[in-house]
Amino acid sequence: MTRTRSFRLSPLVAALIVAVLQTAVIGYMVESRASILRNGADIRLKTSPVDPRDLLRGDYVILSYPISTIPSSIVAGDIPEDGTRARLSVRLKPDADGLWNATEARFEDMAPEEGSVILRTLPFIINTYGAGVLADTLFVQYGIERYYVPEGEGRALENARNAQELDVEARVSSDGTPQIARLLLRGEPVYDEPLY
C-alpha cells in the first residue's frame, strides 16, 4: 500500500502569506497614484456646477468638468459597435486663461503632440441606437469626479464650485490617467494632495 503525502500549510503561515499579498496590492495602488502625482503632466481644469440634489455624500465633493461633455463633432476615427464598452482618448490643449479644453477625441490611441495632453476616459457603453452614429454629446468620466475633504469642509467648496470659482490642477500620466493634485479657490490653492 502506497501512502500519498499531502502538503499542508499551517494556519499561521497561510495568514502571513495572505497578509503579505494584501500589503503588496495596497502598496502598488498607492505607489501608482503617487507616481502620477510625482511625474505626470500638469493641467488645470475648470469645474462645472452639479445638480444640488447630489451635493455632498459623506466627506467628498462631487466634481464635474466641461471636458466631461464631449461633442461628437470632435470625435474622429472608427466608432465601436453598439453595446460594447470602450474608452475614449481625449486631447486637451490650454486656452488663453491656462484652462485645458477638449479639442479632439478618438476611440483609438492618439499620438502625442506638442502643447497637448491626452486623457483616457473610464470605460463606458457605446450606444448609437442602431444607427452607427454617436449622439451629439458624449458624457464621460475620467476618475477625478470626487475629491475627499476633511469632515465639515465640503460645503464651502461646493458653493465655490457652483459659483464656478473652483478649479482643479491635475497631473496626467503618460498613459492618460489623471490624478487631482490641487484644488484652487478663486485661483488660490486650498488643498494640496499629498503623495502618500
Backbone phi, psi, residue 132, to 5° = 75, 15
Residue 2 lies in a domain: no
Domain count across the chain:
1
Residue 25 lies in a domain: no
Digits of tens for pLDDT over the chain (196 positions)?
A: 566 667 787 888 888 899 999 999 988 888 888 888 888 888 888 887 664 444 444 577 889 999 999 999 999 999 998 889 999 999 999 999 999 999 999 999 999 999 999 999 999 999 887 777 888 999 999 999 988 887 777 888 888 988 999 999 999 999 999 999 999 999 899 988 887 7
Q: What is the pLDDT of residue 127?
A: 86
Q: What is the pLDDT of residue 157?
A: 86
Give Cα separations from 146 to 17, 24, 60, 157 (angstroms).
34, 25, 6, 12
Q: What is the rounded distance in angstroms from the CA atom of residue 13 to the CA atom of residue 62? A: 43
Q: What is the pLDDT of residue 54?
A: 41
Q: Which of 72, 110, 76, 73 is nearest to 91 (CA)?
A: 110
Residue 26 lies in a domain: no
Residue 185 lies in a domain: yes
Residue 3 lies in a domain: no
Residue 19 lies in a domain: no
Q: What is the pLDDT of residue 58?
A: 57
Grid cell, residue 180, equals: 487631482
Q: What is the rounded distance in angstroms from the CA atom of residue 177 to the CA atom of residue 118? A: 9
Q: What is the pLDDT of residue 50?
A: 62
Grid cell, residue 160, equals: 465655490
Grid cell, residue 104, equals: 479632439
Looking at residue 107, the DSSP 8-state letter turns out to be: S
Domain region containing 158: 34-192
pTM: 0.75
Q: What is the pLDDT of residue 1?
A: 56
Q: What is the pLDDT of residue 170?
A: 95
Residue 54 lies in a domain: yes
Residue 6 lies in a domain: no
Q: Which of 30, 37, 196, 176 is nearest to 109 (CA)?
A: 176
Residues 6+ apart with CB under 8 A from 38: 195
Compute the 3-state secondary structure of the chain and give helix, strand, coil in percent, each to the nearest 5.
25, 35, 45
